[in-house]
Chain A
Amino acid sequence: MSFEDWFRHDRLPHIFCAGCGNGSIINCALTAIDSLGWEKDNTVFVSGIGCSSRAPGYITADSLHTTHGRALAFATGVKMAKQDFNVVVFTGDGDLSAIGGNHFIHSARRNIDMTVICMNNQIYGMTGGQGSPCTPSGALSTTTPYGMDENPFDLCELAAAAGANFVARWTSYHVKELTRSITLGLQKPGFSFIEVFVQCPTNFGRRNKLRDVESMISVMRDHALIKEKYDRLVAEGKPIPPDMFVVGNLTNRNLPALGVKK
C-alpha cells in the first residue's frame, strides 16, 4: 500500500486554503502509518473542530469528527472500550489547549496509548483568525488587534510535564523528520504528542507581515533549532539565539501507560 490508499478520493476537493500546511502534515502522518503496515480495520482517527480537525474526513478509515476541544475525550472512549484499536488524533492549537486543555493534560497524565498530532498554526483558523493560547506575544489577530499581550503555551513542555511518553516538535517544512517522528510516536506505547508548526497564510500570515507561503515556511525553517544543537549549546554554556524554538524528539521514555494493547 502507499499513503495514497488512505485518502478518501471521493471527498476531494478538500476545504483547506491554497498554501495551507495542513495537507503536508496529513501526508506525513499517512506515510508514517502506511510504513508500519497498519491495517485500516483497526485504526481509528479522531478530531475535534477546526481546520486541522477536518483531517480524518479525508482518510478512509473509521473516524470521529467530534465537538470542539473534546477529541481526546472521545478518543479515550474509543481506546478504553477497544484496546486493540490504534487511535490517532488530529487537533489544532485552539482545540487542544484552550477549550480542550483539561482533556489534554489528563490524557497525557493517564499516558493513554494514542498518538496526537497538533497542527499549531498559532491562531484560530476556522473561525477567522482570533487569538489562541499559542499566539505569540505581540502577534496580531482579530481579537488581539493591538498585539497579543498574554504568554503563549509551550504545548510540548505541557505534555511532558503532564506525563506523556513521547513528545516531539517539528514544522511543516521538516517533512522527512516529521514523518520519522510520527512513526516513532505511533509505535510508542502510551501517549505520544507531536506538535507541528504549520503555516496558515489566510489568517496568521496575512495579519503578521508574512503574506506569502514561502516566507511563512522560511521563517519556520530559520527559527527552528534542532534539539541536538540546542543541547550542545547548553552544554557548552553558549547563548541560545533569541526567537528560536527547539525541534526534535524532545521526550522519549517508558512510563507506565494506560490502554496498551495486550
Chain B
Amino acid sequence: MTRVDFMQGNDASAEGGIAAGCRFFAGYPITPSSEVAERMARRLPQVGGTFIQMEDEIASMAAVIGGAWTGVRSMTATSGPGFSLMMENIGYAAFTETPCVVVNIQRGGPSTGQPTLAAQGDMLQCRFGSHGDYSVIALSPSSVQEMFDLTVKAFNLADRFRVPVFLMADEIVGHLRERVEFPDSVECIPPRPAREGKLPFEPEDDLVPGFTPFGEGHRVHVTGLTHNEKGYPASTDPELHQNLVIRLIEKVERARHEIADYDIENSEAEIVFISYGAPTRAVRQVLLDEPGKGFGHLNLRLVWPFPENLLKKFPNARVFLVPEMNMGQMAREIGRHTDLPVVSLPRIGGELHLPSYLIEKAEEYA
C-alpha cells in the first residue's frame, strides 16, 4: 500500500535516501539544501543509520567516500559553494570508483550569490568540476515525487556503475511542497560483488569491476593515484593511465542510451523545448496553455551522460529551445549533437521563466 504525503522536495529526497537503504549521511548546512541534512539527522537513527555533521563540505565528501567503502549506502547534500569545495574529493570518488550520492540543491552563483533563490548554475561543474578527465551520472528532478524517486534511482545507478551520482535539483524543486506517494518498498539493486579470483579493479564486460567493500577479506588498497587492477599505485605508466581513464569514461558513456530517463511530448513537432528541473514545469504549462501550437517537449530526468540520441526522436524538428536557469550550460552541450539551431533561453536571478515569455520566444520561430 502506498502512503501519500504532502511535503517539501528536500524532505522527499531524504526519504528517498532512507527508502533506498542509505544508512550514512555526512554533511554541512547550506541554504537551500539544509532540510535534507536535518531530516536525515532525525530519520537515520530511527532506522539504525548514522548522521554526522562534519566541519565543512570537504570533510563531508571525504566521509561519504569512507562510508561507501564500508559497503554502506552513503550520501551528502549541499549547494553551490559547498559543491565547489567537494570537487577534489568528487574526482577521488570517480577515480576510485566509489559509489555514492551527492544531492545539490542549486542556488544562484557565482560565489555566495543568491543563497535563497534557485539556479541551475552547477550543471557543468558537476560534469567537469574536478581536475582531469572522468565521467559521472547526473539526474534532474522537476517535482517533489521525482526528488524521492530519483534519489532512489541515484543509489542504484551509483552501485551499478560505481560512480558518484548527482541529484542536480534546484531551490524551487527543493523547497516546493507537493503531493508525494511513498511506495511500501522500492527497488534496491546492490553493487555486483567481485567474482572469485578477480582483482579489485579488474573490470567485467561492462567495464565496471565488481565491488570489494572493506571488511570482507578483499584487503583492497584504494588510492587516488593512478593504479593497476590490483589497486596499487602505478602513476608513471602512460599507457596504464590512458587505459584506466578511458575505461572510467567509457563505462558511463557507453550506457548513456540505455540509462536515459525522459518524457517526450509531441514528437512530430517542429519547435521543440528541451528542459530539465524546474523549467520543465514552465514548459509543461506552455503545452497546456497552447495545445493548438503543437510545440514539442523533451524533459530530461537524466542529464549526464548526455543522451544525444533523444534529439532524433523529433524527426521534424526545426529548432530546439532550451530554457535554463543559467546562461546556457546544457544548451551548449545540446548544440554539440545537432546541426539544427539550438536557442538558449537563459533566466538567472532566481525566478522561473514565465510561460508567456516561452510562448513569445517560440512564436518567433513559427
- Using a CB–CB cutoff of 8 Å, the interface residues on chain A facing chain B are 8, 11, 40-42, 44, 46, 56-57, 60-67, 70, 73-82, 85, 102-103, 106
Contacts and interface: CB of A to CB of B under 8 A. Distances in A.
B56 A102 contact: yes
A73 B220 contact: no
A44 B65 contact: no
5 contacts: A41-B215, A65-B223, A66-B224, A73-B58, A85-B70
A63 B232 CA distance: 11
A62 B66 contact: no
Interface string B1-43: 0000000000000000000000110100000000000000000
A70 B88 CA distance: 10
A73 B275 CA distance: 37
B215 A80 contact: no
A77 B215 contact: no
Interface in B221-253: 221-225, 232-233
Q: What 8 A-B pairs come out closest when comparing CB atoms?
A: A77-B66, A77-B63, A81-B67, A73-B62, A73-B59, A62-B214, A65-B223, A82-B70
Contact of B62 (A63, A66, A81): A66
A252 B23 CA distance: 33
Given A65-B222, A81-B50, 16 more contacts: A40-B219, A57-B221, A62-B219, A66-B92, A70-B62, A73-B59, A74-B63, A77-B26, A77-B65, A78-B66, A80-B26, A81-B68, A81-B70, A82-B214, A103-B59, A106-B54
A67 B89 contact: yes
Interface of B: 23-24, 26, 50, 52, 54-56, 58-60, 62-72, 74, 88-89, 92, 214-225, 232-233
A57 B221 CA distance: 6
Nearest to A81: B67
Given A62-B220, A73-B54, A78-B70, A67 B62 contact: yes
B66 A85 contact: no
Contact of A62 (B62, B64, B218, B232): B218
Contacts of A56: 221
Given A67-B224, A81-B23, A76 B63 contact: yes
A38 B223 CA distance: 23
Contacts of A66: 62, 65, 92, 224
B52 A57 contact: no
A201 B71 CA distance: 41
A78 B150 CA distance: 26
Greatest chain B CB density within 10 A among A42, A67, A81 is at A81
Contact of B214 (A11, A67, A85, A102): A85
A82 B72 contact: yes
A44 B221 CA distance: 10
A82 B24 CA distance: 9
A202 to B, nearest CB: 19
A74 B24 contact: no
Greatest chain A CB density within 10 A among B64, B88, B218, B222 is at B222
